[in-house]
Amino acid sequence: MKRTFTALALAVTLVLGSVSAQTITIATGAVGQELELAQAAAQRYMDANPGVTINVLDTPDMADDRLGLYLQFFQAQSSQVDVYQIDVIWPGDLAVHFVDLFEYGARDVVDEHFPAIVENNTVDGQLIAIPWFTDAGLLYYRTDLLEKYGFDGPPATWSELTEMATVIQEGERASNPDFWGFVWQGNAYEGLTCDALEWVASNDGGSIIEPDGTISINNANAVEVIDLAASWVGTISPAGVTGFDEEAARNLWQAGNAAFMRNWPYAYSLGNSAESAVAGVFDVSPLPAGDAMGGSPAATLGGWQLGVSRYSENPELAADVALFLASYDEQKIRAVEGSLNPTIMALYEDEDVLEAVPFFGSLYDVFINAVARPSTATAPNYAQVSAAFFRSVHSVLTGAEEAETAMALLELELEDLTGFPTGQP
């Protein structure tokens, strides 16, 4: 009897063992529709591959918090998560925790993707992650309100935006006390690094640390535009903007309470959804340029990739799932339903995609010319470099410091952190 029981238990263990080996857990984002889209994609994989179970683990919205969670899994060398959605700025910092996808079939598909992103994701010849979607900062503007106040197009410069937002806000306040001119990402987190890099780069102030390793942030053009941004807080932007992430900005905007918003493309399809108060009355344009000589619009390059953990018990299956999720058909669904930018170049010529999200065509240049954060030059210390930058900018936004002092101190901090030289952008 005892023996039979033991044999049975063993058989059950073996069966369960093989079942659990067929279970893949993916850690994904949940900003906007990301979670729902990932779940639907996982279901399609499961339908086509009976016997495989995919768990979709939802992770914190703010990139820094998500990184914190991932680092806990990595530190424990946990096999709990097989596939991670990783930020475009992380391959250099996190490379050691991922398998080389070139060894798991990515070689055949990688050429379909934007070469710059593939290069970004390749560390020491190893493909750390397959590109999933790309991102670039955009200006969302209310077409109805621009018309109502006699403006014939979106602002070309940040000072034009300031003026237009002031006029529209003043007018709208008469009937809507909750109305604001401009919402954006001002919390002390990675999102602020993205917004502030756009201000600085658009004002010909460089990109914090240049690709050659020169620390360039302490310059007059950067100081000027960060001071301008600080002047928005509590005037055309709510004082609480210094606590906003992407979703906070989108919620205020989508309720019809803002004239302008800086956000990523994902806010487009949600803005046109049935629940949105601004459906059909907004459009997107490149972000404004700075007023400095040589200023021109700049969008920060964002985006997310799928990497397979080195600690996964089933890297082969995990890689198959990752490559499936990043495939043409799947990226197409995400583009059409979620306005998430494909990383597969041919999708920018796909008629269904262009019909659903016309600006993928009209603003194509914005996506391919987006400004990279200094993650490659500073790896594996990018997270600290970025934190130093966003904390410093945040202290200016909250009025704790003048930009001139803040950027001078930041320069010293970055010198300490990286050992790099300082110089002009």
Binding residues vs ligand GLC (CB under 6 A):
63, 87-88, 135, 190-191, 194, 246, 264, 302-304
Question: Chain centroid to CA 305: how far?
Answer: 10
- Minimum separation from the CB atom of position 337 to ligand GLC (A): 17
- Minimum separation from the CB atom of position 304 to ligand GLC (A): 6
- Select 198 or 246, whichever has its Cβ closest to ligand GLC: 246
- Select 56 or 197, whichever has its Cβ closest to ligand GLC: 197
- Minimum separation from the CB atom of position 29 to ligand GLC (A): 7
- Select 132 or 282, whichever has its Cβ closest to ligand GLC: 132
* Residue whose token pair is 């004002």: 203
> Containing H/E element for 23?
strand 23-28
SS (H, E, C) 215-258: ECCCCHHHHHHHHHHHHHECCCECHHHHHCCHHHHHHHHHCCCE
- Select 206 or 303, whichever has its Cβ closest to ligand GLC: 303
- Select 223 or 249, whichever has its Cβ closest to ligand GLC: 249
- Select 168 or 192, whichever has its Cβ closest to ligand GLC: 192
- Select 191 or 425, whichever has its Cβ closest to ligand GLC: 191
- Whether residue 380 is preceded by a cis peptide bond, meaning omega within 30 degrees of 0, is yes
- Select 98 or 104, whichever has its Cβ closest to ligand GLC: 98
Three-class SS state of 4: helix
- Minimum separation from the CB atom of position 294 to ligand GLC (A): 26
**C-alpha neighbours within 13 Å on the C-beta side of residue 343:** 30
Residue 80 DSSP one-character state: S
Neighbours of 196 (CB within 10 A): 27
In the chain the first and final C-alpha atoms are separated, in Å, by 79
Residue 289 DSSP one-character state: B
- Minimum separation from the CB atom of position 297 to ligand GLC (A): 18
- Minimum separation from the CB atom of position 202 to ligand GLC (A): 18
**Helices 382-397 & 63-75, crossing angle to 10 degrees?**
150
Q: How far is CA 282 from CA 118, 142, 144, 247, in A?
A: 33, 4, 7, 17
Rg (alpha carbons) of the chain, rounded to whole number: 23
Which tokens sit at 339? 């306005």
Quote the CA–CA distance of 417 and 243 in Å, as a whole number: 26
- Minimum separation from the CB atom of position 87 to ligand GLC (A): 5
- Minimum separation from the CB atom of position 151 to ligand GLC (A): 28
